[in-house]
Amino acid sequence: MNMKYLKIVFFFLLPLIILAGCSSSEKTDINYTGIKYVSARTYTPVFNIPDIYKFLSEIEEEIKTDKKGLIPEISYIAPPGEEFEIIGITKQNDHTIFKIKPANSEKTYYIDSRFTERSDGKKNQGEKLSKEEIIRNLKAMEGYPYEYGGATANGVYKFESMYEIKGLREKWKPKGLDCSGLIYQATNGAIPRSSSEIVKYGEGLDIEGKKLDDIIDMLEPLDIIGYPGHVLIVIDKNSVMESSPKKGVRILQTETRIKQLMKDRKPVNDAEGKDKNKIFVVRRWYK
Q: 44 and 162, same structural domain?
A: yes
pLDDT score for 265: 96
Asked if residue 185 belongs to a domain, the reply is no
CA distance 79 to 89: 21
pLDDT score for 179: 82
CA distance 110 to 107: 11
Asked if residue 196 belongs to a domain, the reply is no
Closest CA to 153 of 7, 18, 10: 18
Q: Which domain holds residue 273?
A: 202-284
pLDDT score for 275: 93
pLDDT score for 165: 55
- Judged by DSSP in three states, 13 sits in helix
Asked if residue 190 belongs to a domain, the reply is no
Q: 157 and 52, same structural domain?
A: yes
Alpha helices in the chain (DSSP H): 3-19, 52-57, 131-140, 152-163, 168-171, 179-186, 195-198, 212-218, 254-264
Question: What is the CB-side half-sphere exposure of residue 184 using CA atoms within 13 A?
Answer: 27
Q: 214 and 86, same structural domain?
A: no
Q: 206 and 159, same structural domain?
A: no
From first to last of its 287 residues, the chain has per-residue pLDDT tens of 444 443 433 333 333 333 333 444 445 555 666 789 999 887 788 889 999 888 877 766 556 666 655 667 877 777 778 889 999 998 887 789 999 998 777 889 999 998 899 988 766 555 689 999 999 989 988 887 765 544 333 334 455 555 555 555 554 544 445 788 788 878 877 888 788 889 999 999 999 999 999 999 999 999 999 999 899 999 999 999 998 877 888 999 999 999 999 999 999 999 998 999 999 999 999 98
**Domain count within the chain:** 2
Element (H, E) at 58: none
Q: 242 and 116, same structural domain?
A: no
Asked if residue 189 belongs to a domain, the reply is no
